[in-house]
Amino acid sequence: MQTKPFRIGTRGSPLALAQAHETRRRLMEAHGLPQEMFEIVVLSTTGDRITDRALADIGGKGLFTLELEQQLTTGELDFAVHSSKDMPTALPDGLHIAAYLPREDMRDAFIGRETAKLIDLPHGAVVGSASLRRQALIRRLRPDLQVITYRGAVETRLRKLAEGQVDATLLAVAGLKRLGKEAVVTEFLDMETFPPAPAQGAICIECRIGDARINDLLLAINHRPTFDAVSCERALLAALDGSCRTPIAGYAVSDGEDIRLAATILTPDGQVSHSLQMQGKVSAAFELGWKTGQALREKAGTGFFDSWS
């Protein structure tokens, strides 16, 4: 019988803490355990500490998980809670994603300081975003805009916007909802014209492979439709060698035994893009994602990927 608290690893941003608290709440409800049986352990990651450069320039999104995964591997943490889109496609040996919570809204939010819609921004307006995907999609829709790299926690980006450092920014609707900040959104971007990042809106829980006690604990809160959809999207990323240097959009939706994946790849300037929609069986979600990524590679041709290097 468990006598010591389970140790939950998380980053220290308000959004990361909200995600850890949601995970703890669901585990308490699923297992009838008191709050004191779950200790939230906050770690500072390299990605949190370095905010003046693009992620691609300092090592990619794995910098948001490195310190947490080190403590998972040594057993100092029992499991760690992450934003799924921050997770590299290849995890350290001995670790895996054991569960996903029910997915929140997948869309991107446009937040304009004086202009409510992206399409209505004045010529030459400055838009801040840390995401190469968002940058490329903005440039595809509005090549006249100035798009700058703009990092930091949600609160930091909103403060910079209010101070006038940029005219607008984009954030995930899911994160704003989890922080109770949905009211700042001036436009919810349509997923057909502004498709989200793979795994956007999903919280995942990482733990050690073979730790039956922890895996069984987490299985009780795993949301299978989210698990299938995000597994499909992560396979797409793996097939395309997705990293912070690659503008890739994609989302999967399951319907009974079937699953559909829509995927888009872009050049960083947004001027060339290729899209595909494919569908298959939920039982082969990973295979569908991989197959779609390979088909996109063939459709785009080898020269397309030169701009990604």
Q: Which sequence spans correspond to the domains of the chain?
A: 1-101+202-222, 108-188, 224-309
**Helix 224-239 / helix 285-300 crossing angle, nearest 10 deg:** 30
Instruction: Please give the CATH number for the structural domain made up of 224-309.
Output: 3.30.160.40
Instruction: Please give the CATH number for the structural domain made up of 108-188.
Output: 3.40.190.10
State the pTM of this model. Answer: 0.90
- Tell me the mean pLDDT in the region 251-264: 95
- Tell me the mean pLDDT in the region 64-88: 93
pLDDT at 59 over 50: no
| 197 vs 243 pLDDT, higher one | 197
Catalytic residue flag (residue 255): no
- Tell me the mean pLDDT in the region 55-71: 69
Highest CATH level, class, for 1-101+202-222: alpha beta
Are 108-188 and 224-309 the same fold in CATH? Answer: no
pLDDT at 8 over 80: yes
How far, CA to CA in Å, does 37 sit from each of 26, 42, 74, 254? 13, 16, 20, 34
Q: What pLDDT does residue 45 have?
A: 64
- Tell me the mean pLDDT in the region 268-287: 96
142: pLDDT confidence band, cut at 50, 70 and 90?
very high
- Tell me the mean pLDDT in the region 64-92: 93
The 126-128 sheet, strands edge to edge: 146-148, 126-128, 168-172, 108-112, 187-188
Annotated catalytic residue within 48, 52, 57, 86: 86
